[in-house]
Amino acid sequence: AQSVTQLGSHVSVSEGALVLLRCNYSSSVPPYLFWYVQYPNQGLQLLLKYTSAATLVKGINGFEAEFKKSETSFHLTKPSAHMSDAAEYFCAVSVGEKLTFGTGTRLTIIP
């Protein structure tokens, strides 16, 4: 069985500062990994995905994530936070057809 752990249910960063959202996974087989963003009262939008190609994955809105097998991690980063990045972020793992999500990290941007 696979699982995802997101460290920090709430993260606050200043506008222009580095964004780092942490995700660790557990999987018995090589996983596919994803980051989704959810804005208030909306559905989930895919930010980026890792599917066993390059370990550094670039996504939309300036986000990227690095797959580190030795650390079983897939942390999400953005060099400079914008106010529009305020949202809930979910890490997810897929083995087979269904996605298993973490509990989410709410990102707040401080002006």
Partner 1 sequence: NAGVMQNPRHLVRRRGQEARLRCSPMKGHSHVYWYRQLPEEGLKFMVYLQKENIIDESGMPKERFSAEFPKEGPSILRIQQVVRGDSAAYFCASSPVVDWDWVRRYNEQFFGPGTRLTVL
Which region among 15-23, 54-62, 76-84, 89-97 touches partner 1 (by CB under 8 A)? 89-97
Where on the phi/psi map is residue 102: left (φ > 0), alpha (ψ -120 to 50), or beta? beta
- Under the criterion CB under 8 A, does residue 104 sit at the interface with partner 1? yes
- Under the criterion CB under 8 A, does residue 26 sit at the interface with partner 1? no
C-alpha dist (Å) from residue 39 to 10, 66, 72: 15, 23, 27
Among residues 28 and 111, whose Cβ is nearest to partner 1?
Answer: 28
In 3-state terms, what secondary structure has residue 29? coil
Q: In angstroms, what is the minimal distance from the CB of 68 to partner 1?
A: 20
Which region among 54-62, 64-72, 73-81, 102-110 touches partner 1 (by CB under 8 A)? 102-110
Among residues 17 and 86, whose Cβ is nearest to partner 1?
Answer: 86
Amino acid letter, residue 57: V
β-bridge mates for residue 65, sequence order: 57, 76
The secondary structure of residue 16, as a DSSP letter, is T
- Under the criterion CB under 8 A, does residue 83 sit at the interface with partner 1? no
- Under the criterion CB under 8 A, does residue 99 sit at the interface with partner 1? yes
Question: Which residues contact partner 1 by CB under 8 A?
Answer: 32, 36, 41-46, 49, 51, 90, 92, 94, 97-104
